[in-house]
Structure formats: structure tokens, C-alpha cells
Structure 1
């Protein structure tokens, strides 16, 4: 089901924002005008990814620098100085209609 998140003008280009929709914590990313939605927390140690930064189309965790493809949620690189694999982020379809960001939640 598509859920309204917030108006597109509430997130700057090339930035990240945390939001909870219907009890689901989400990371909303605006990368070059395209909106993406993933789980909010790094799968390594549950760090809030909205406090991280964007590098190309990846979100970098501020704690241990794990990197995730914001388009798919897939792990690009694991935490610094650790070899154990980590899980991908859950990714959610997102779109903008009439100036409102919508995310499809299960």
C-alpha cells in the first residue's frame, strides 16, 4: 500500500532524512532529484543512517563506514576493519505525486 511520507520540498537535493511511517522507520534519500526509501538503520550495529552521508548513489554509515547502494539497499562494502558479512537494507518503492513523497509498504 502506498503511504504518504512528506512533501518533496522538505528534503534538499543530495540529502537524507529519517521518518517513521505506519511504524516502519525509513531512510528517505534525495539523490539528484530522485527519491529512494530504505530501512533507516545500518544492519551492522543499528546506527541511524540519516546521520551518514551520500557518496555517489551510496549511503555511508557514520559509525563504521559500511556502504549501501541507496537504489537497491545492497551492501557495497562492509564495516571498516571487519570481514563478517552484513545484511542488505530493506528497500521500498518510492515515488513523488503532486509534490508528495509516497512509499510502498507491505
Structure 2
């Protein structure tokens, strides 16, 4: 089911926002003009990725610098100082209609 997030002009390029839709916490990221939606929390220690930063097309966690690809949620690099593997992020389909970002939950 498609759910409305917010207007596309409410997020700047190379920035992130966190939103909760139907009880699901989400990260909305805009990188190089494209919108991506993933789970909000890092799979390492559940830190909100909205506290992190965008680097290229990746979101980097502020806690231990784990990095995830925004396009597919794959782990790019694990957390510093921890060699245990971490899970990929869940990503969500989005569409933009009449300037409004929608996510498929």
C-alpha cells in the first residue's frame, strides 16, 4: 500500500529526514537529486541513521561509521572496530506524484 511521506521540496539535496509511517520508522534520503527510503535504524546498534551523513550514494551511521548503499541497502563497510558482519538495510519502493513522495509499505 502506498503511503504519503511529504512534498519533494521539503527535503534538500544530500540530506536526510526521519519519518514514521503507520508505526514504521523510516529514513528518507535525497542524494544527487534522487530520493531513497530505508529503515531508519542502523543494523549494528540501532542508531538512527538520520543522525548520520550522506557520502556519495551511501548513508554513514554516526555511531561507528557503518555505511549502507541507499539504492539497495547493502552494507558498504561495517562498523569501525567490529569485525562481525551486520545485516543489510531494508529499502522501500517510492514514487513521486504531483510533487509528493510516496512509499510502498
- TM-score normalised by L of structure 1: 0.97
Q: Aligned pair count?
A: 105
Which segments of 5 or more consecutive residues in structure 2 lack a partner in the other structure? Answer: none
1-side partners of 2:32 and 2:83: how far apart?
A: 32
Hey, what's the Cα distance between the residues in 1 that align with 2:97 and 2:31? Answer: 17
Q: Name the counterpart of 1:25.
A: 25
C-alpha deviations, 1:19-67, integer Å up to 9, x for none? 0011110000111211100000000000000110000000000000000
**Does 2:60 align with 1:65?**
no
Map 1:25-64 → 2, pairs under 5 A:
25-64=25-64
Tell me, in whole angstroms, the C-alpha distance in 1 between the residues paired with 2:33 and 2:55.
Answer: 15
RMSD over equivalenced CA pairs, Å? 0.6
* SS of residue matched to 1:63: coil
Residues in 2 aligned to 1:60 and 1:73: alpha-carbon distance in whole angstroms: 12
Aligned to 1:3: 3
